[in-house]
Chains A and B, each alone.
Chain A
């Protein structure tokens, strides 16, 4: 075994998970009377067939990058962030509010908007962080509740202050100077929805990987995540670390909100708890909580979401079954624990077999 055997293994587990997911999806297709090979051909064509579709796949993945890394970062530091959806919404709300209120040139406005979205998501995660640190309230419960508080906050705030002229359920459409879409990129990808959010997300993932691996902050947060008590005995400020870790996770999801509402979309809608927040958990699981793993996993999920429509259009698979197939693939892909156990047995078997 080489030195990186743990990472190597994580990659194997991920690949087997994906394969199993695809097999499960194929079984589902076959059982509903559809040809799996045909289905998958169109699924992947739908996501990759031309430059525009590749762009759309990446655009669909963008928010998943950020919610995935948000969940993975929290995991790495011993926290389970189920609240990425709510943090996305709040990040999106902050970003939209500024985008609709301030009329500044794009190069000035965009950084402000992005920072605002990070603050929005970060503040939203601060509350579960504080509750966890001060009162030991489990963050799973707190973040789930914060999701719904965000949902209703949006439901009230958008119609009250940022309502569209005719669109009761959506905010006004943001101006071009607040949009993450840029013309050269749209043109380069032949009219796709890919936007600056994609590059921001990739950059953020690299930064997070560096923070976790190479900085004192990452070292401290991970130590607290692995063993609170030892971290405390070593003089680390455990409460501060928990709060900070939640805020960073929230900020990442909040930034995801900005890329989604001001990049992929061009306004924020009420009555929707973004599914990306929950898919982020699957992304983190499949990516083995490794930032680059999350990147790959998000692209895969983005491909599935983005190719599904074409598969539905080209085959007789009804959209509802299409959704079920995608959910099955994601579900299986995220059951890496089973694969880990399975690999253990396989390894043991071969070890035993070789000896005799």
Chain B
């Protein structure tokens, strides 16, 4: 019985810790006065809600909608990552009255394909994917589904231009996760950005084929660190990482080099990763980040629905023109001169003067 008592004490202490933690992250703390009837739910992909990527970006947008628009928000974490697990959580949200459901990631494509018929009176937003059936024989988005894509190439392009302008010469590298379209488009845009800067601003940046590598996973931290170390040893000064956990490894390598006095940079992806790269005080090795404004997309969809303007059945692309992609507004590692030059290029991309291709064309890999 003594043991049981010990266990009880441990459980109690552990739960008290949880209380203190959960208070801080309580998602439903929001402005009571602006309460509206809409309940917005989200089902997370593999990974946690604070993954600095898709889950977190989507949830931040939904949370903002909760604060500013007064909608009720909730996210659920599936037991596994199969279609059955995802659909079950959608069912749970639906049964609990959450009839506006946001799902981050292409892994939800077949799930939403089924859910759109099963829960015909609910609305779905799928990010980075479009509903289709299991064997890709049928692509179909009903009137209750919006598919959202991002112009990753434009984001990569802006990061390429900004990085080239700041460092002026030397070698750059690219580490990708898996060789899938979203990652490839980041790569191709990045290459075009460097070429643009070399041609228009007189920079001399080299991006050699040997320094463009797809690691093959989004999770192998150790491999990321090794790849980054090899590139840095070959004289590469900045690496663009569109690789999830692999990128974390690269960031760690750059941090340890920075602490040893070397000047090595990482260009972040998806969200502003500046805080990830801090190695001393406020100094970070994140030069800039190629962002996809997932939070903006999620927030906008909710806001439009409240106005009665839900664009059911549509496939929306978030690009520079609608401020859906780009680099962070504040880049402490970029000079004011670079920032203003980049702003001009961004305006050109927005108005179509500069066109960034989403295809490989003559680019490397």
Chain A residues within CB distance 8 Å of chain B: 24, 27-28, 31-33, 46, 49, 52, 56, 59-60, 159, 165-169, 173, 175, 191, 193, 264-266, 269, 271-272, 274-275, 305-306, 308-310, 312-314, 316, 318-324, 328, 335, 338, 342, 345
Contact = CB atoms under 8 A, between A and B. Distances in A.
Nearest to A169: B178
Nearest to B23: A33
Contact of B11 (A173, A191, A316, A328): A328
Given A173-B135, A309-B76, 13 more contacts: A28-B15, A31-B19, A159-B216, A193-B84, A193-B88, A266-B82, A266-B83, A309-B78, A312-B77, A318-B25, A335-B7, A338-B4, A345-B1
Contacts, number: 114
Contact of B15 (A27, A313, A322, A345): A27
Interface string B315-345: 0000000000000000000000000000000
A173 B96 CA distance: 30
Closest 10 CB pairs of A and B: A313-B96, A319-B77, A31-B15, A265-B82, A309-B92, A173-B134, A168-B178, A313-B92, A310-B92, A193-B84
A190 B216 CA distance: 40
A306 B81 contact: no
A38 to B, nearest CB: 13
Contacts of B26: 316, 318
Contacts of A314: 96
B98 interface: yes
B23 to A, nearest CB: 8
Contacts of B98: 313
A316 B96 contact: no
Interface string B1-35: 10110011001100110110010011110000000
A271 B46 CA distance: 11
Q: Do most interface residues of chain A lie in helix, strand or loop, or is the interface mixed? A: helix
B93 interface: yes
Nearest to A342: B1
Of the listed residues B19, B88, B93, B96, the one surrounded by the most CB atoms of chain A closer than 10 A to its CB is: B88
A59 B28 contact: no
A335 B1 CA distance: 12
Given A28-B11, A32-B19, A46 B178 contact: no
Contacts of A169: 178
B180 A264 contact: no
A32 B12 CA distance: 10
Contacts of B77: 312, 319-320, 322-323
A282 B307 CA distance: 51
A25 B252 CA distance: 39
B75 interface: yes
Interface of B: 1, 3-4, 7-8, 11-12, 15-16, 18-19, 22, 25-28, 41, 44, 49, 74-84, 87-89, 91-93, 95-96, 98, 106-107, 110, 118, 134-136, 178-180, 216-217, 219
A44 B110 CA distance: 28
Contact of A309 (B7, B89, B106, B136): B89
Contact of B12 (A31, A46, A168, A266): A31
Given A166-B106, A305-B79, A310-B95, A24 B11 contact: yes
A342 B89 contact: no
A313 B41 contact: yes
Given A265-B82, A313-B95, A342 B4 contact: yes
Nearest to A337: B3
B28 A271 contact: no
Contacts of B217: 271
Of the listed residues B95, B179, B217, the one surrounded by the most CB atoms of chain A closer than 10 A to its CB is: B95
Contact of B27 (A56, A306, A318, A342): A318
Given A264-B84, A319-B77, A338 B3 contact: yes
Given A168-B180, A312-B76, A324-B18, A265 B219 contact: no
B22 A321 contact: yes
15 contacts: A27-B15, A28-B18, A32-B15, A33-B22, A166-B106, A191-B118, A265-B84, A309-B79, A309-B88, A310-B96, A313-B93, A313-B96, A328-B11, A338-B3, A345-B1
B92 A312 contact: yes
A274 B217 CA distance: 19
Contact of A308 (B7, B74, B79, B93): B79
A117 B8 CA distance: 42
Contacts of A27: 8, 11-12, 15
A106 to B, nearest CB: 16
Given A46-B92, A265-B84, A313 B76 contact: yes
A31 B18 contact: yes
Nearest to B82: A265
A32 B180 contact: no
B28 to A, nearest CB: 6
Nearest to B134: A173
Of the listed residues A191, A313, A316, the one surrounded by the most CB atoms of chain B closer than 10 A to its CB is: A313
B47 to A, nearest CB: 11
Contacts of A31: 12, 15-16, 18-19
Of the listed residues B75, B80, B219, the one surrounded by the most CB atoms of chain A closer than 10 A to its CB is: B80
B22 A313 contact: no
B315 to A, nearest CB: 16
A265 B92 contact: no
A298 B136 CA distance: 35
Contacts of B74: 312-313
Contacts of B79: 60, 275, 305, 308-309
A25 B77 CA distance: 19
A59 B91 CA distance: 15
Contacts of B76: 309, 312-313, 319
B213 to A, nearest CB: 16
A274 B82 CA distance: 11
Nearest to A316: B28
Nearest to B27: A318
A52 B94 CA distance: 14
Of the listed residues B19, B107, B134, the one surrounded by the most CB atoms of chain A closer than 10 A to its CB is: B134
Contacts of B12: 27, 31
